[in-house]
Amino acid sequence: MRQGKGTLLESIRHAYDGLVYSLQAERNSQLHLFAAILVVAVSLWLGLDTLEWALIIASIALVFAGEMLNTVVELTIDLIIMEHRPLAKHAKDVAAGAILVAAIAAAIIGVLVLGPRLVDKLQAMGLLKV
């Protein structure tokens, strides 16, 4: 049972621990981190404006938050149910489907935001002829 709310610093520490756990224990979180680093690097190179950065950051955050919530669902079900049950599988599948939707949306936003600028930059460098 919970013994009180603790300090703000303790809450931040627990949140940090959860993020680190997700990145260490979940392969998909590691893949999302790699993709996020790549997207941020390309975004810096392309010199995005404020609104474009907001879209990119929101997309990255949505995918990470979704992946972490998916992990919560999986861990909770694994903690409660030891044997295979169809409803547990459905719950895990739906949580995974939710993160798939978020990842697809983030990829589409990435193409819409980065695509035109990337084509322009590569053409200017003579690396792409369209």
Residues with active-site annotation: 67
Contacts of 48 (CB under 8 A, 6+ apart): 56, 113, 117
DSSP letter string, the chain:
-------HHHHHHHHHHHHHHHHHH-HHHHHHHHHHHHHHHHHHHHT--HHHHHHHHHHHHHHHHHHHHHHHHHHHHHHH--S--HHHHHHHHHHHHHHHHHHHHHHHHHHHHHHHHHHHHHHHTTS---
